[in-house]
Structure formats: structure tokens, C-alpha cells
Structure 1
């Protein structure tokens, strides 16, 4: 049995740069079930991107707090 989201691929890409590190999130969400799957995938993707952004913002805040204490 398959659902409307048969696959998800995510990457968190870190690159060094002057003054710190750059982190980029990339993701791909595959959908099935024609229009219903596309609709559901858009709902899931929007919620997931918000969740990832909030998590990365919290990580950034904590990293900056720790760096300031050094």
C-alpha cells in the first residue's frame, strides 16, 4: 500500500565562509494519487518547511549565544 507521499529526500548542506558557516536546507517531496496527492504534498511541504525553519532558527540562536560566551 502506498500513500500520497512515496518519497522524501532532504539535505542539509554546510559550507565554510569567512566569518562562519553557511547552512542550506534542500528538500524534495514526491507525490502520488494525482490531484489529491499534489494537494496533500503541498500541505505537508508547507508545514514541514515551517518546522525546519523554526528548528534551524533555534539552532542558530543557541550557536550564537554559545559563541558570545567564548
Structure 2
């Protein structure tokens, strides 16, 4: 069973499409990194995974046994 499954995800902020049709599956024991330039949508993706914002399309399923921690960018 995957810890995180993202299917056909679309995310938009202020009319700008950040992700369009993105899919991902992360299995237990895997380690990943999220890199990209400023404004690419990294924090927006993490906010969507955490449930802070709703995706514009697609689905995000985070396993109940998964733990996610974040540090806010703003002080």
C-alpha cells in the first residue's frame, strides 16, 4: 500500500497553472526530495497534500499511517 498517491492532479494559483495532470505514488521506505525554482509550486503542492488547499482537479490520498511535518516559510 502506498503512503501517498496523487492522481491526475491540477493546481492553480491566481489563474496560473502550477500542475496539470500530475501523478505520483510513494511507497513505504522511499525517500524523496522536492526541488524547483521559486514560484514553481513546491509549497502549494505540500499545502494540497496536507489538506490546507483543495486541488483544482484530480485527487490526493495520504495514508492514515503517514506523517507529514512542515516548517512555515513566513516568520
TM-score under structure 2 normalisation? 0.26
Higher strand share: 2
Higher relative contact order (CA 8 A, sep 6+): 2
TM-score under structure 1 normalisation? 0.27
Which structure's CA Rg is the greater one? 1
Higher helix share: 1
